[in-house]
């Protein structure tokens, strides 16, 4: 008959990674920052290996806008986005502390101005078609969004409970569950 203590010790020795001697994993550091294209030095179409699909490859000169490398000018290869002079995009800097290699890659275009325009267009359409009721709906959605970002304890003290400590309160509505009550502002 085998003893259960021996089996437990054997399984702990074999299956516990903390007891195993191994190398430490060195992680790459990754920093994302905004950059602007100063000029496109070269642009060509190449076939992607293993397929018949043609892709655009660019050699671009850029200037980093954000910290920690603000003002630094780099030349890099780009096969991700078609960029032109003056375009702003997100640049990712990968650095490996083990062997000291650095790698820069084009990540995503900078879309904040377009998103702001779409947000203003949405608000304008809601106000045009909804009028006063649309304005009240936007204000209520804004208030609920702000309350949703708070912790549960802060939500309890800010009016999602029965008391009215800071004047905000949700009241039951027969069709839509809970609605914002403007009388408690």
> 136, 176, 174, 150: which is closest to 166 by C-alpha?
150
* 81-137 residue pLDDT tens: 888 888 899 988 888 877 778 888 888 899 999 999 999 999 999 999 999 998 888
155's CB contacts (< 8 A; 6+ apart) are: 147, 148
List the structure tokens of 21.
């001697």
Domains and CATH numbers, the chain: 28-110 (2.40.50), 113-184 (no CATH)
Alpha helices in the chain (DSSP H): 4-15, 112-148, 152-157
Render pLDDT for 134-183 as a digit per residue (tens, 0 to 9). Answer: 888 888 888 877 766 654 544 444 444 443 444 445 555 554 444 444 44
Strand 73-78 and strand 54-64: pairing?
A: antiparallel
pTM of the predicted model over 0.75: no
Q: Check: CB of residue 75 under 8 Å from CB of residue 60.
A: yes
Model pLDDT, residue 121: 96
């Amino acid at each position: 008959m085998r003893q259960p203590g021996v089996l437990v010790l054997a399984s702990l020795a074999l299956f516990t990674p903390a007891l195993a001697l191994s190398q430490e994993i060195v992680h790459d550091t990754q920093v994302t920052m905004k950059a602007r294209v100063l000029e496109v030095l070269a642009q060509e179409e190449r076939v992607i290996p293993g397929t018949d699909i043609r892709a655009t490859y660019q050699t671009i000169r850029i200037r980093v806008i954000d910290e920690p490398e603000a003002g630094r000018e780099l030349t890099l290869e780009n096969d991700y986005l078609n960029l032109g002079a003056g375009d702003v995009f997100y640049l990712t800097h990968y650095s490996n502390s083990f062997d000291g290699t650095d790698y820069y890659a084009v990540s995503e275009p900078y879309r904040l101005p377009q998103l702001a325009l779409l947000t203003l267009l949405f608000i304008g359409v809601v106000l045009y078609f909804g009028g006063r009721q649309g304005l009240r709906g936007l204000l209520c959605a804004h208030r609920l969004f702000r309350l949703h970002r708070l912790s549960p304890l802060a939500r309890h003290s800010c009016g999602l409970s029965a008391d009215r400590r800071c004047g905000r309160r949700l009241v039951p509505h027969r069709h839509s569950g809970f609605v914002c009550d403007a009388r408690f502002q």
